[in-house]
Amino acid sequence: MWSKPPLAVLNHILTGEDWARARLAGFAGQTARVQFASVLLQFTILESGLLAVAEASAPVAVSIRLPDDAPLKALTDSPSLFSAATISGSVDLAETLAFVFRNLRWDVEQDLSELLGDIVARRAVRLAKGLAKWQLQGAKNLAFGLAEYLTEEEKAIAPRRELEAFCTEVDALRDDFARVEKRLGRIERRYREPRRTPLS
């Protein structure tokens, strides 16, 4: 089942975080569903504060729909991860899960050092952080370059200043048309009124 590997990682991190397990233990026995893109995690909170794959028939206390880019946000901007979520069900459980997941810190370097040694682990983590930062900056540069190309070179998308000028001109035209329409209405009413002939 797809839930097992992510839950194994979460439980590994939770094992080293007593405060997080204590918070989650208050919701022991409750089931949560977390979904992003095509990934669905459904888990039950145990009395120890760890997570277990939920039974298919277990009633879901809270359902959380995260944005499709949740894994990227978890690595680059974890505080904003839950701000874009859609939540239904228990608000208390949702807030606790959001707080725990937002503040969990995986000491990857410590885990790697047990396998590879301190120096290799430190260098591997530094390299991974550098690559992630480089990719994020590259994605931003690509998006900016593409937007500039489409607005300035290809004229496929109108630049903001041109859109604002167009909207201003449309507003002015609408106002002018309304004034002309009023004036025509007054002239039309004047010609419809019966003419009074002077009495002799």
pLDDT in tens, 77-94: 666 667 777 888 888 998
Same-domain pairing of 55 and 146: no
Q: Provide the residue range defining the domain that includes 36.
A: 4-103
| 107 — pLDDT class (breaks 50, 70, 90) | low
Examine the domain organization and report whether 9 and 77 are in the same domain. yes
Q: Give the residue, 176 or 2, on which the prediction is more confident.
A: 176
Residue 196 resides in a domain: no
pLDDT at 55 over 60: yes
Could you tell me if 83 and 71 lie in one domain? yes
Query: Does residue 59 or residue 5 have the better pLDDT?
Result: 59
- Is 20 a member of any domain? yes
Q: What is the pLDDT of residue 58?
A: 86
Could you tell me if residue 85 is inside a domain? yes
Burial status of residue 31 (CB atoms within 10 A of its CB: 0-12, 13-18, 19 or more): buried
Residue 188 in tokens: 């039309």
Q: What is the pLDDT of residue 4?
A: 73
CATH number at residue 62: 3.30.1050.10
H-helix or E-strand spanning residue 90? none
Do residues 9 and 55 both lie within one domain? yes
Of the candidate ranges 24-38, 46-60, 109-123, 159-173, the one whose mean pLDDT is the lowest: 109-123
Query: How is the chain split among helix, strand and coil, in percent rounded to 5?
Result: 60, 15, 25
Q: Are residues 75 and 90 in the same domain?
A: yes
Examine the domain organization and report whether 94 and 164 are in the same domain.
no
Residues 152 and 175 occupy one common structural domain: no
Q: Given this model, what pLDDT does residue 22 score? A: 92
User: Which segment, 2-6, 42-46, 55-59, is predicted with the most confidence on average?
Assistant: 42-46
User: Is 70 exceeded by the pLDDT of residue 72?
Assistant: no
pTM over 0.85: no
Would you say residue 197 lies in a domain?
no
Query: What is residue 1's predicted lDDT score, i.e. its pLDDT?
Result: 46
Please report, for residues 13, 24, 130, the alpha-carbon distance to residue 119 in angstroms, rounded to integers and kept in the order given: 22, 35, 17
Q: Is position 195 within any domain?
A: no
Question: Tens digit of pLDDT for each residue in 109-165?
Answer: 565 566 667 776 677 667 777 776 776 677 777 777 777 766 666 666 666 777 788
Asked if residue 95 and residue 39 are part of one domain, the reply reads: yes
Domains: count for the chain: 3
Of 66-70, 171-175, 187-191, 192-196, the one with minimum mean pLDDT is 192-196
Q: How many residues does the structure list for the chain?
A: 200
